[in-house]
Amino acid sequence: MRIAKEALPYSIFLLIVAAISYFFSTIVFLIAILCLSFVLFFFRSPNRKIDYNDNYILSPADGRIQSISTIKNNFQEGEAIKISIFLSLFNVHINRSPVQGEIIGTSYRPGKYLPAFKSHASELNERNTIVVENHKIKVVVHQITGFIARRIVCYKKEGDAVNQGEIFGLIKFGSCTEIIVPSNVELFVKEGDKVQAGKTVLGEVKNDKKQC
């Protein structure tokens, strides 16, 4: 089990607090150790074997599917399907690429910090977007902060190549991840389903013609 490097500052601080409080306050020491345990748990990055299939669209995040809706967006022609995945504090918060391809676009939008489970949070909260394209499909992934999450991390930039299931970022402390795919993708999931990043197949490209 790996731990994301973003855990390091929190871990060092809590270790210092634990070391100092050990000599004068058992309660503070125990609280620091509990917080350290939670930080290590939250930033866990489990090793996952990715079964590559260029027809499949994998989940970009762990969590529960909060909603599936038909929308119009600036990244794709015509209608598209938006799948919103809610991540609780206890889910793995590592984001993985749903398809193999090239990152053809990225954008960051500052915003509010409403609870991630609110239906309008994705339109108002801080958000980072990546667009991944290959010879078959173009998909959009939004990393969205929540009430507790206040920091989005993205390791990739425009022009980078990504493998299917490859880690491209994380969101700290509770959040929402959205994926937008063409409307004629055949979905295998429904609202309320639990999903795992890089493991759960959300849908399948119906034909070899590129969808965009």
Pair 134, 163: CB distance under 8 Å: no
- Give the pair of three-digit tokens for residue 136: 């078959």
Left, alpha or beta for 78 (phi > 0: left; psi -120 to 50: alpha)? left
Q: Is 175 a catalytic residue?
A: yes
Which CATH fold topology does 56-204 show? Glucose Permease (Domain IIA) (2.70.70)
- pLDDT at residue 208 in the model: 54
Say how many CA atoms lie within 13 Å of 206 toward its Cβ: 8
Give the Cα separation of 117 and 4 in Å (integer).
25
Q: Please write the tens of the pLDDT for every residue from 30-51.
A: 999 999 999 999 899 999 999 8
Q: What parts of the chain have a pLDDT lower than 70?
A: 74-77, 111-124, 146-150, 173-174, 207-212
Q: What share of the chain is helix, strand, coil (3-state, %, to 5)?
A: 20, 40, 45
CA 197 to the chain's CA centroid: 8
Pair 28, 17: CB distance under 8 Å: yes
Each domain of the chain, given as residue ranges in start order, spans 2-45, 56-204
- pLDDT at residue 148 in the model: 56
Pick the closest to residue 181 from 122, 137, 123 (CA basis).
Answer: 137
Instruction: Please identify which of the residues 37, 97, 175, 183 carries the catalytic annotation.
Output: 175
Pair 104, 158: CB distance under 8 Å: yes
- pLDDT at residue 45 in the model: 92
> What is the pTM (predicted TM-score) of this model?
0.86
